[in-house]
Every structure is written in structure tokens, then in C-alpha cells.
Structure 1
């Protein structure tokens, strides 16, 4: 009797996953970005703390963008390397380059959000495009492509920002986690149910920022300048997505498991601040996957109903991995089919352990 109950629960988990695949994921793979019809002026904003080497690579790529009217604004946040000197030299060379300097962050305020808020206030143009110092645009059309998302009257445009492909299993796992996260937030935004974005590739208007009181509701929380702002803004703002390769930015991922775990714990701790409905939706997908593996392993160990188990597991792999690979192709991202079953298993169990560890999470400052 117990094995039958376990099989039924396994089937329910798979059906929940199929719902997400059919309603959200497959439609995302067919998404078409808007055509560029006009170019509105844009302020590209980067907050940086001791990022001289990254800025040395990033800023020429930003200043070389093929766009009619834009400015690049860097918020130099308490840097004590040679960032200030480098930015000063660029400011002399380029009329569309601006620097805002932060000498000290007010007590009890999150430093990155404070830096971004100052940059937003100093921005010349209504439309703003954000990225991080360690990111790189894939093309000289990045600004143009991301701004195409405003054609339909959007207030916020969400983009995709994958990590570079390097050697090693950790790199595969990080890129898989990034892809699954993007599949979830982009697919739900595609259905008018946006709940987060990533600051590595995000755009919104000044009016949207001030209408939603900026970062006021979470100014003391480490992280969340991207997803928590989107959380607050979606009720009175229209959100669009742009996912073409030319609209993407990329960055180098963490190279040690410990660094990545620290980063993911910070992200998950911010997730506790999401709206209840969004947490239930995310939780339904994640928990259905975790329980799928737990139940499948139990049934395999007790050696019960193996033929039915194999059929359910096989069908789940075919449908879900087809959804993931179809979205990956749309995003022009690479997904290892050989490692996919292992990555999926490790990812969801790692998610479980990270979720538990967040209960013991200690506050971490941005930098």
C-alpha cells in the first residue's frame, strides 16, 4: 500500500512540473522580442566598488555602443584603488561619460542601493539601463536591443545575463542554476506575472523608480536592488522581457564552491522577502522537483514497482528536459545534455540544503 501512495505522490510532483513546462516554459521558448522602432535617450548606470580592472574592460564596451543618444554613468562607491583616476581620465575624453562619487555610506543603509539611488538621481535621461562592473555586453547593440522592450509601453524591461562557459563541473552547475532561475522569472514575466529581475541586465524608467519610492522598503537589506524593486513595482508598472543574444550581458562566475554557496545564500535570503503568492509559486516548482527525487530514490531502494517508476521518471525527463533545452536554444545558451540529469539532481538537492542554511544566515554587506 505504501509504495502505491509513494507512486501517486510521485505522479503529482511530475504533474506540477508539467504544468509549469506547458504554461510557462514552452511559451517562453517561442517568445519574440519587439522590433526597434525608435531610439529614446538612455542612461547606462554602473555602481562599482574597487572595480578598476573590470571597469577597464567594461567601460570601453559601453562607450562603444551603437546608439544615437546615451550616457554612461559610473557611481564610484568608496573605492580605494585607482578607480577614481581611471574614471577621471575617461570623463575628460568622453562628453557622454559621468561620474558620481560616494565617499561614505550613511549608517544602516545598504551601500549598493545607496550608490545606485545617487546614480539614478544624477542620471540625465528618463530611461535607465543597469549592469554590474563585472559584466560585459554581448554586442554593440545591447542598449538598442534592451530599449526595444519599451515599444509596447513598458516601465520595466527584464534581460538575461548568463555566465561564461569555463571548464569544470562547478561551472556547469552555476550556468544550469542561472538558466533555471532565468527560465522561471522570464517565463512568468512573459505571462504578465513578473516577480524579479537581475541587476546584471535590467532597465526601468525614472518615473517608475520614484513612483515606487525607489529602494525605500528594503534599503537596509543586503541585496535585492533588482528583484525586490521589481517586486514592489509590478503592481503599478508594465513589465516586458527582451532575450535575444544581442540584448544579453555575460560575466565570469565564481570559481570555488564556497564562493558560489555564499552568493546563493545571499540570494535565497532576499527571496524570503518576496510576495506570498510568488513564494508559493516558486515553492511549488522547487518542492515538486525535490520530492520527485526523494520519492524516486525511496522507490528505487525498496525495489517496488520499478517498471512504473521507470516510466514516470522517463516521461518526466523527456518533457522537462525538452522544455529546458528549448528555452536554452532560444536564449542561445549551451546546455550539456550528457550532464543534464546529474546537474538537475545536484541543483535541487543543493537548493534544499541552501534553503535550510539560510535559517542560520548571517548578514553580509555588499562590499
Structure 2
């Protein structure tokens, strides 16, 4: 009985921590109302780095080039592609006069390093306001550049946007991918709102070029293959220079993986950068994940043993209520509301997947970006 009593009070503590996360932290984004943006429309350089992305460039680049914005260029970076990416770039350049091509050839010191390629593209950009997306991304509207750039001010030099994934009917994997994306966005938007910005996603991210040169670019983590988006933001973002943009016209959508193996490989690369985050961010993110795991393990154990089950059940309901409200409002903002219907199943699956990635990355490090 003593063991069960310890488990019960431990479970109560875990639930309190989870409730605080979903209300006091994630609620900052979930229940946030749109604020007014500026009317500034600065010249923008859209930067796209591509490696073996010929088909995606053909399909998605027109949606960038046809943006309704008065002054922008598109910097296309060919990162030593083996397919026809460079030829596709050159074909588009012959039709549009606002394209600049940066052709990157591998050198021994930076073999296959996306950050090296991006650095060359940033240096080649004409404008100081930089907007980043990926070759397999499509802006959801013709006002993407306008919405993202309107968040810039003299003090707001970093803009965190939302990059979602395409929806595939009757696909559990697709819902899992989009649920993970929703949860991640809810976290980085919320932390930014409370003055602790810790990451952004390269699918939709903007910052002033001075932020890049003030810290010598990616030099501090150049040897880490991933992290051109989250590690850079973790280094330079502060409560004073970072703003979020979540209007639907500012969204981009990417092609989601269609098999678990490819997605697992992709997430291994993304997760591998977390250990380089600032300590305070690691602690906050780690505590959330640990209490997620403990909520399920302790909750199931207590309900199975029926020890003080009415109280245990009440705690379970309280946590789920806060979770559904927080993620539900966030999902509505980010157009991912259909993922909420399978929330418990998706959460358990994601927890198991994240633990598997942690173990796999301990055994062998991912050393690729494509």
C-alpha cells in the first residue's frame, strides 16, 4: 500500500506539472488573439536551399515566384545536386528576372553541409530581410511574403512562422506527422510569447541579415549537420527581437513523408540538435516529455490497481481537459483540428517514437541532411 500511495502522490504531482504546461505556457499561444502588424513592406530575399529537388522545384517554386509583393528576389541555392536541380533553376531564371542562383560545389571541409550552402546564399542575397523556406514547401497564399515581412519592425528582427504538412486522407502516419508538427509549433510559439524563444522551422522562418552576421553565421554549430533553423534561433533569439506570425496567409505546407521509415529518419535528424539547446530550454522541454511519459505510465498503473481510483480518474480527466482545450485552440489556429480527434492514440505513439529516436541516436548519430 505504501508503494501505491507514493505512486498516487507522484501521479498527482505529474498532473499538476502537465496542467501548468498546458495552461500557463501553451495557453499563451492557444488563447492568443491576433495582434496588429506593421504596414512596412521592406525588400525581401526569399532563400531556398535545394539538394536533388528538381521535381519539387518544378511543382512548388511558381507559388513563390508569383507572390503578390512589390519588391522581392528569390535566391536559389543548388547544394551539389546530382539530379537536374541546377538546370531547373536556370530554366526558371530565364523566365523571371528576380532570381539569383548560387551553385555550391562540395569542398572537403564542408562536405554535404547545408549550413555552408545556406551561408553562401545569405551572403549572395541583395536584401537585408531574409525569408526562408524549403524546396518541397508551398506558400498557402499569394500574401505569404507580405504577412511574414509585415511582422518586422526595428526591434522585431526574427519572425517565427508555421510550416505545416499536406493532408492525406485515411493515413494514420499523416495524422501523426501533423500532430507532432502541431505540438512542436504550439511549444515554440508559446515559449516565444513568454520571452523564451528557443527554435523555429526552416520551412517558414524570417530574420534580418544582421542577426546572421552578428554571430558569424552558423560557425558555433557548423559541424552539426542539422540545426540551420533551430540551433541558429536558439543562439540569437531573445524576448526583445523575436515575434511570431500565425495568420493563415503566412503558412507554408510541405510534402509529408508517406512511410514510417522515411519519417523516422527525418525526425532522427531533427531531434539530434536538441542537446545543443541552451540549458534552460533543455530543462523545460525535458520536463514536459518526462511528465508526459509518467502521466501515462503512472495513470494506467493506478487505474489498473484501482487504488484511490475516483481521485486518479479525476486527475486524468483534469489533465485531458486542459490538454484538449490548449491543443484544440492551437489546432484551430494552425488548421490542424482533425488531429485532435485521435489525440490520446497519437500522443502515446509519438512518445514511443521519440523514445525510440533517443535510443537510436545514442547508438549512432545521423550525419546527413538529405
Q: How many residues align?
A: 367
Which shifted more, 170-179 or 122-131?
A: 170-179
Distance 2:232 2:273 in 1: 11
Residues 282-331 of structure 1: CA deviation (Å, up to 9, x unaligned)? 01111111111010122133232222221111111111111100111122
Distance 2:219 2:35 in 1: 32
1:6 corresponds to: 7
Contact 1:24 1:187 in 2 (8 A): yes
Show the counterpart of 2:303.
300
Residues 1-367 of structure 1 mapped to structure 2, 5 A cutoff: 1-29=2-30, 30-108=32-110, 111-151=113-153, 153-166=155-168, 167-235=170-238, 238-367=241-370
**CA shift for structure 1 position 213:** 1.1
Question: Secondary structure at 2:138's aligned position in 1?
Answer: strand
CA distance in 2, matches of 1:150, 1:344: 35
Decide whether the 8 Å contact of 1:196 with 1:231 is kept in 2. yes
Structure 2 spans left out of the alignment, 5+ residues: none
Q: 1:49 to 1:281 in 2, by over 3 A?
A: same
Cα distance in 1 between the residues matched to 2:323 and 2:291: 12
Query: How much has 1:152 moved relative to structure 2?
Result: 6.2
Q: Is the 8 A contact 1:28 1:187 kept in 2?
A: yes
| In structure 2, distance between residues paired with 1:125 and 1:236 | 25
Deviations along 1:1-29, one digit per CA (max 9) or x if unpaired, are 22121111111111111111222222212
CA drift at 1:109: 5.2
TM-score of the superposed pair, with normalisation by structure 2: 0.95
Query: CA 1:213 to 1:6, structure 2 compared with 1: closer, same or farther past 3 Å?
Result: same
In terms of mean alpha carbon deviation, does 135-144 or 352-361 score higher? 352-361
Distance 1:235 1:26 in 2: 20
Partners of 2:367 and 2:205 in 1: how far apart?
Answer: 23
CA contact (8 A) 1:208 1:237 kept: no
Deviation at residue 103 of structure 1 after TM alignment = 2.0
SS at match of 1:125: coil
Stretch of structure 1 that moved more, 171-180 or 335-344? 335-344
SS in 2 for 1:154: coil
Cα separation, 2, equivalents of 1:229 and 1:164: 26
In structure 2, do the counterparts of structure 1 residues 229 and 110 end up closer, same or farther at CA, with 3 Å as the change threshold?
Answer: farther
**TM-score, with length taken from structure 1:** 0.96
Instruction: State the shift of 1:218 in Å.
Output: 0.8
Give the Cα separation in 1 of the matches to 2:81 and 2:124.
19
SS in 2 for 1:116: helix
CA distance in 1, matches of 2:152, 2:205: 12
